Chain A
Amino acid sequence: MSNLDITYISQILTGYKSMKGALIPVLQEVQNHYTYIPEPAVDLIAEALNISPSEIYGVLTFYTQFYTQPEGKYTIKLCRGTACHVKGSKSILEAIERKLGIRVGETTKDDLFTLRIVACLGACAVAPVMMVNGDYYGELTLEKIEGIFDELQAKECKSAKT
């Protein structure tokens, strides 16, 4: 965090200074850039938008989309909606936890995977479903989980070597 480049935050903020209700879009842009909301960003945003840091912290802890820790290279968003639940997404969750050795909200030691659950991805017809960095994976089974993560891990190993 010490060598965080904050120039990007100042850049974003210039576009929002006079906009009503700018806080959430600003936080979204900051997070898109850094993968999380760094602590110094909160103070900068507070200054620029004339909102207290405590209100900003309140907002970013209220919405599940915002994180205060850096995300892994891949963010897994496992759907825990009703349709997924009745089709066994809890077992899928446990399988991912076993496979990656992390719990929900955690990131693997190699900073590759962060596991998150979402209320519903709206892809109920292909339940159980998850999203990995924007790609949907539907009708998950324990077997499929193995395959998907083996493939991603292999891909990363390969790119690390080259």
Chain B
Amino acid sequence: MKVKKEQKPMDKGKKLQSIEELESLQQQAFDRYDPLRKRVRICMTGCLAHGADKVRDALVEELENQGMSKDIDLVETGCFGFCAKAPVVAIDPEDIHYQRVKPEDAGEIVSETLGKGNIIDRLVYFDKKANKRLPYTQDIPFYKRQVKHVLRNCGRIDPKRIDHYLLNDGYKALAKVITSLSPEEVIEMIKKSGLRGRGGGGFRTGLKWEICRRAAGSPKYLICNADEGDPGAFMDRGLLEGDPHSVLEGMLIGAYALGARFGYVYVRAEYPIAIDHLKIALNELKSLGLLGDNILGKDFSFHLKLKEGAGAFVCGEETALMASIEGKRGMPRPRPPFPAHKGLWGKPTNINNVETFGNVPLIILNGSEEYTRLGTEKSKGTKIFALAGRVNNTGLVEIPMGTSLRDIIFDIGGGIPKGRTFKAVQLGGPSGGCIPGDHLDVPIDYDSLINLGAIMGSGGMVVMDSANCMIDVARFFLEFIQIESCGKCIPCRIGTKRMLEILVRITEGEGKEEDISLLKELAEGIKITALCGLGQTAPNPVLSTIRYFLDEYKEHIFEKRCPASVCVPLIKFEVNRELCKKCGICKKVCPVGAVSWEKKMPAVIDKNICIKCKTCIENCPAQAIQ
């Protein structure tokens, strides 16, 4: 399918020899841009899971058929953030927001909205609280509370086109750094901004850069850790797919500051679109001479390669990641020596995560002081979260540090669906913890979350409701860790296996009185003795669920009961006649016809037919099947 692009791409193949040539390229992009021109933006990343490609094809066809393809541009963008309403389409210049768009809607969008300027009500966000339709992006509560700094271009520009990035101050920070700042001054700016690593640990980025700059040895390597392995996290995916150049610009600035000559972007193989967009961006940079030797005619060279991961969570750990780039099994090694001194191929190496690099151009362009205006005392700037799980508005969210969990889950996230109640939110993936309702008002920053037994992590935020079993969640994470453990050190290899075995028996009704204290003991031992960060933090999901949901553990162990009706061996698969709303949904959804129900009568499950697939439980509006 032929897609009409917004503007003609710029002259390619000519390497930029100076800052002036870069500036003139930026000017060209600016001159060609008409802010009042009508454009249709459609997310061609996350929304693909909901058939965005078919919607795009339909839009292209309709534009063609209705003779508007010359006047209206179709822009394929990255993620808008509001994945719950996928596929999402926006119309400029008004920034009309259409959601859940189907290919059948294309004709009407073209004729009504693009042709006549009319808004199509059924595609517009409906705010239940205010009881009104909100057609413009800026009014929708999901976006209203957010501060999109790092994600400023996501969903707005075509990530496959460098001119779109240039148009939005792209590579201006790089130009500033090369023309007017020494490497030390760049590091000083990053230090002053208070930027902390967005990958999980929250180490101060400026300090990290300084250590590596001062380390003896050459060449130095700069690595972008895009091995976003935390299940339930997709911030880095969103940023790489939607605005790869902002990350690459951050890397170029980092390379300049550290004196790194070579670099790698290490991306998960599970992110084909991110890989594709990065490849395009890297090729564009190479052909413009923004990567390679003597960038912009200056004494600054940086060679950047893409490395695809091969499927190992542990490769998010720095030493394992480097082993993987070297072509080895991704087994971490003890530290010290730290990567800053002995990293990739024994040379000084600095590794930052995708979002961290995404922050760098902003700090350089707007200054450290401006950057520190947002955030808390010890955590500055914004943080991107991937909001998922049992929450209405799933998607990608960027908020200032210090926003409360309640604001994110209930204001931005729109609360819990199906009329259920909030139970916990899991942060930080397998290294993090579950935070219950009592602590939702705590302002989020690195330190407050640690106090709550969770971690900031990379930003995965999975919401759980009353139909989620916390022991099952703990078991899920331990299963994950067991699959992903590299097997090198004893505490992680055997210790987490033993923890998992205990959790399995608890969820299967075989729990023993001493199990909770055994779990705690194993957890403490593993924390102290494991080799790498993955192992040391692996017990966190268990510890935090014991801390906040001890009663639920006890119900499983002593009463052999799973209050959330998740643990199959503990479910009787009986309908509680008092709770049953007599709606018959269970009969409708049962794949094997085990449910009998008649109007105004409670349902009955035939246990001889039932295959315990839990479809009825998942669909029951009253949680009546126990």
Whether chain B is bound by chain A comes out as yes
B250 at interface by CB-CB < 8 Å: no
A121 at interface by CB-CB < 8 Å: yes
A74 at interface by CB-CB < 8 Å: no
Task: Please tell me if the beta carbons of B324 and A24 are within 8 angstroms of each other in the complex.
Answer: yes
> Measured between C-beta atoms, what is the minimum distance from A126 to chain B in Å?
5
B207 at interface by CB-CB < 8 Å: no
- Residues 103-124 of A, flagged 1 when their CB comes within 8 A of B and 0 if not, give 0000000000000001111111
Task: Please tell me if the beta carbons of A85 and B618 are within 8 angstroms of each other in the complex.
Answer: no
Chain B residue contacts of A22, Cβ below 8 A: 327
Task: Please tell me if the beta carbons of A83 and B232 are within 8 angstroms of each other in the complex.
Answer: yes
Task: Please tell me if the beta carbons of B49 and A119 are within 8 angstroms of each other in the complex.
Answer: no
Task: Please tell me if the beta carbons of A120 and B229 are within 8 angstroms of each other in the complex.
Answer: yes
- Residues 209-240 of B, flagged 1 when their CB comes within 8 A of A and 0 if not, give 00000000000000000001111111001000
Which residue of chain B has its CB nearest to the CB of A31?
B310
**Which B residues between 291 and 328 are near A, CB-CB below 8 angstroms?**
307-313, 324-328
A15 at interface by CB-CB < 8 Å: no
A65 at interface by CB-CB < 8 Å: yes
Query: Complex Cα distance A21/B484, Å?
Result: 22
Among the interface residues A27, A59, A124, which one has the most CB atoms of the partner chain B within 10 A?
A: A124
- Residues 51-79 of A, flagged 1 when their CB comes within 8 A of B and 0 if not, give 10001001100111110000000000100
Whether A125 touches B272, Cβ cut-off 8 Å, given contacts A23-B327, A91-B613, is no
A28 at interface by CB-CB < 8 Å: yes
> Measured between C-beta atoms, what is the minimum distance from A70 to chain B in Å?
18
Task: Please tell me if the beta carbons of B613 and A95 are within 8 angstroms of each other in the complex.
Answer: yes
B516 at interface by CB-CB < 8 Å: no
B518 at interface by CB-CB < 8 Å: no
Total residues of chain A contacting the partner, CB 8 A: 49
A154 at interface by CB-CB < 8 Å: no
Partner among A81, A125, A142 whose Cβ is within 8 Å of the Cβ of B395? A125
Chain A residue contacts of B312, Cβ below 8 A: 62-64
Chain A residue contacts of B460, Cβ below 8 A: 82, 124
A129 at interface by CB-CB < 8 Å: yes
Query: Complex Cα distance A138/B43, Å?
Result: 15
Whether A142 touches B615, Cβ cut-off 8 Å, given contacts A86-B389, A120-B232, is yes
A137 at interface by CB-CB < 8 Å: yes
Chain B residue contacts of A118, Cβ below 8 A: 270, 311
Task: Please tell me if the beta carbons of B86 and A124 are within 8 angstroms of each other in the complex.
Answer: no
Partner among B50, B232, B389 whose Cβ is within 8 Å of the Cβ of A138? B50
Chain A residue contacts of B68, Cβ below 8 A: none
Task: Please tell me if the beta carbons of A119 and B389 are within 8 angstroms of each other in the complex.
Answer: no
**Which B residues between 458 and 479 are near A, CB-CB below 8 angstroms?**
460, 462-464, 468, 473, 476-477
Which residue of chain A has its CB nearest to the CB of B344?
A21
Chain B residue contacts of A25, Cβ below 8 A: 307-308
Task: Please tell me if the beta carbons of B387 and A120 are within 8 angstroms of each other in the complex.
Answer: no
Task: Please tell me if the beta carbons of B231 and A119 are within 8 angstroms of each other in the complex.
Answer: yes
B483 at interface by CB-CB < 8 Å: yes
Task: Please tell me if the beta carbons of A62 and B49 are within 8 angstroms of each other in the complex.
Answer: no
Task: Please tell me if the beta carbons of A64 and B311 are within 8 angstroms of each other in the complex.
Answer: yes
> Measured between C-beta atoms, what is the minimum distance from B519 to chain A in Å?
20
> Measured between C-beta atoms, what is the minimum distance from B415 to chain A in Å?
16
Which residue of chain A has its CB nearest to the CB of B387?
A125
Query: Complex Cα distance A158/B394, Å?
Result: 38
Task: Please tell me if the beta carbons of B618 and A120 are within 8 angstroms of each other in the complex.
Answer: no
Query: Complex Cα distance A84/B476, Å?
Result: 11
> Measured between C-beta atoms, what is the minimum distance from B206 to chain A in Å?
29
Which residue of chain A has its CB nearest to the CB of B541?
A82
**Which B residues between 495 and 536 are near A, CB-CB below 8 angstroms?**
none
Query: Complex Cα distance A59/B618, Å?
Result: 40
B396 at interface by CB-CB < 8 Å: yes
Task: Please tell me if the beta carbons of B426 and A123 are within 8 angstroms of each other in the complex.
Answer: no
> Measured between C-beta atoms, what is the minimum distance from A40 to chain B in Å?
20
Task: Please tell me if the beta carbons of B327 and A24 are within 8 angstroms of each other in the complex.
Answer: yes
Task: Please tell me if the beta carbons of A82 and B326 are within 8 angstroms of each other in the complex.
Answer: no
Task: Please tell me if the beta carbons of A136 and B311 are within 8 angstroms of each other in the complex.
Answer: no
Among the interface residues A80, A84, A136, A139, which one has the most CB atoms of the partner chain B within 10 A?
A: A136
Task: Please tell me if the beta carbons of B390 and A124 are within 8 angstroms of each other in the complex.
Answer: no
Chain B residue contacts of A23, Cβ below 8 A: 327-328
Task: Please tell me if the beta carbons of A20 and B618 are within 8 angstroms of each other in the complex.
Answer: no
A88 at interface by CB-CB < 8 Å: yes
Task: Please tell me if the beta carbons of B311 and A63 are within 8 angstroms of each other in the complex.
Answer: yes
Task: Please tell me if the beta carbons of B308 and A138 are within 8 angstroms of each other in the complex.
Answer: no
> Measured between C-beta atoms, what is the minimum distance from A152 to chain B in Å?
16
Chain A residue contacts of B394, Cβ below 8 A: 83, 124-127
**Which B residues between 365 and 417 are near A, CB-CB below 8 angstroms?**
386-390, 394-396
A94 at interface by CB-CB < 8 Å: yes
B548 at interface by CB-CB < 8 Å: no
Task: Please tell me if the beta carbons of A122 and B387 are within 8 angstroms of each other in the complex.
Answer: no
Chain A residue contacts of B330, Cβ below 8 A: 62-63
Chain A residue contacts of B329, Cβ below 8 A: 58-59, 62
Task: Please tell me if the beta carbons of A126 and B46 are within 8 angstroms of each other in the complex.
Answer: yes
Task: Please tell me if the beta carbons of A134 and B272 are within 8 angstroms of each other in the complex.
Answer: yes
> Measured between C-beta atoms, what is the minimum distance from B347 to chain A in Å?
11
Task: Please tell me if the beta carbons of A125 and B46 are within 8 angstroms of each other in the complex.
Answer: yes
Query: Complex Cα distance A58/B486, Å?
Result: 12
Task: Please tell me if the beta carbons of A125 and B386 are within 8 angstroms of each other in the complex.
Answer: yes
Further contacts, 12 of them, CB under 8 A, given A84-B231, A87-B390: A22-B327, A65-B269, A77-B270, A85-B231, A86-B390, A118-B311, A119-B311, A123-B234, A126-B50, A136-B48, A142-B613, A143-B589
Offer 18 A-B interface pairs, CB within 8 angstroms, sorted by A: A27-B310, A28-B310, A51-B327, A59-B328, A63-B309, A64-B310, A64-B312, A80-B480, A83-B462, A84-B231, A91-B614, A122-B268, A123-B49, A125-B387, A125-B394, A139-B50, A142-B591, A142-B613
Question: Lowest 9 CB-CB distances: which A-B pairs, in order?
Answer: A125-B83, A81-B231, A82-B232, A23-B327, A63-B310, A83-B388, A138-B49, A136-B49, A124-B388
